[in-house]
Homo-oligomer: A and B are copies of this chain.
Amino acid sequence: MTTLDERPATASGQPATASAPGKPASAARPAPTTMTMAGAINAGLRAAMERDDKTLLMGEDIGALGGVFRVTDGLHKDFGDDRVMDTPLAESGIVGTAIGMAMRGYRPVIEIQFDGFIFPAYDQITTQLAKMHYRSGGAIQLPVVIRVPFAGGIGAVEHHSESPEALFAHTAGLRIVSPATPQDAFDMIQQAIASPDPVMFFEPKARYWDKGEVDPTRVKAQLDAASGASTGTAEMSRARVAREGSDVTVVAYGPTVRLALQAAQVAADDGTDVEVIDLRSISPLDSDTVVTSARKTGRVVVVHEAPTSFGSGAELSSRVHEQAFFHLHAPVLRVGGFSTPYPGAVFEHDYLPSLDRVLDAVDKVMAH
């Protein structure tokens, strides 16, 4: 049985940086390095905090403990109470006070402990954080980032495996992104923090310990760009073609990107050439990239962990049909969680999109 205990002792997955307490290590990092996704987010947070001392972290147990996933490991030690704030146990309070701090120029980065615990903050996120810029006619920017370890596959108890991204994407004013690789995690967390807009940053928790190469120079160069105009919002909003193919397009994001790539591999053995698109951003949805691919392949499957019904795949499917209808050989198919609450852990691998279910959908669209 998979458990939460699989994590290593520190998030960085590398020897702790030798920096004097209170004195953040100035980042002369070798490029590229192998990092876990959790380590990449940790490094990205550190880089953002070094870049701008208005950046601060808020959340439950993110201080001495380093967060239940250790993503903030070491940051409290190096940046202190004032910038790594263990908060009272109240999610609405965290988001609400972050809004107030952002109004004074701070860039709060909130950690919600688990996906299922974001809902007490739903009102603050939906009616305040999302709408303040509009309400104020642009006078108030709220560069708040809300990090949410999300999705399942870790054998957890209720409320610890949910995928609520579509519940936020319907609300204008929020940006919703989800990285699928350590490189994107490292880059996108910094772009999210630099963005003047509120960003919901969904971290696929089952992928926290996957390793990958991280080149730290790219995002640094982009954010250093003298113009000051490059906040990274645009970069993190673009989908990525994770694998080129010509027969069918499989669209995924966050936790399901690896699955889509696996499916492409298996399909290739069967002679089907799958293009995989990693959306990266759910709001805005980079439908241009997907539609371009759909026009090429004529077949699209979208895969996410959230329940299919009223999920983000519905929006994607609608847009592809609207914009590429006459290029399609088959309807866009969706592979997602079922229309039930997230079930007990023994069922989760039946509940979640699996390699077989993705391949089944690929076969179905290929049948036309």
A contact set with B: CB distance below 8 Å: 92, 116, 119-120, 122-123, 126-127, 130-131, 134-135, 158-159, 166-167, 169-173, 283, 285, 306-307, 309-315, 317-318, 321-322, 325, 328, 330-334, 339-341
With A321-B331, A330-B325 known as contacts, the answer to whether A310 contacts B130 (CB < 8 A) is no
- Sample 19 A-B pairs with CB under 8 A, ordered by A number: A116-B127, A119-B123, A122-B126, A130-B341, A134-B340, A169-B309, A170-B306, A170-B307, A172-B309, A283-B310, A309-B315, A314-B315, A317-B317, A317-B318, A317-B321, A318-B321, A321-B331, A322-B331, A322-B332
CA separation between A339 and B340, bound complex, in Å?
28
Additional A-B contact list (5), CB under 8 Å, known A170-B311, A322-B333 = A119-B123, A119-B126, A166-B310, A283-B309, A325-B331
Query: A284 CB to closest chain B CB, in angstroms?
Result: 9
CA separation between A312 and B135, bound complex, in Å?
25
CA separation between A341 and B136, bound complex, in Å?
12
Q: What is the copy number of this chain in the assembly?
A: 2
CA separation between A92 and B116, bound complex, in Å?
16
Which residues of B are found within 8 Å of A339, using beta-carbon distances? 172
CA separation between A172 and B341, bound complex, in Å?
6
Which residues of B are found within 8 Å of A120, using beta-carbon distances? 92, 123
| Contact B167–A170 (Cβ < 8 Å) | yes
Residue in B closest to A338 when the chains form the complex, CB atoms: B172
Residue in B closest to A158 when the chains form the complex, CB atoms: B135
| Contact B131–A341 (Cβ < 8 Å) | yes
Tell me which of B131, B170, B313 contacts A166 (CB under 8 A): B170
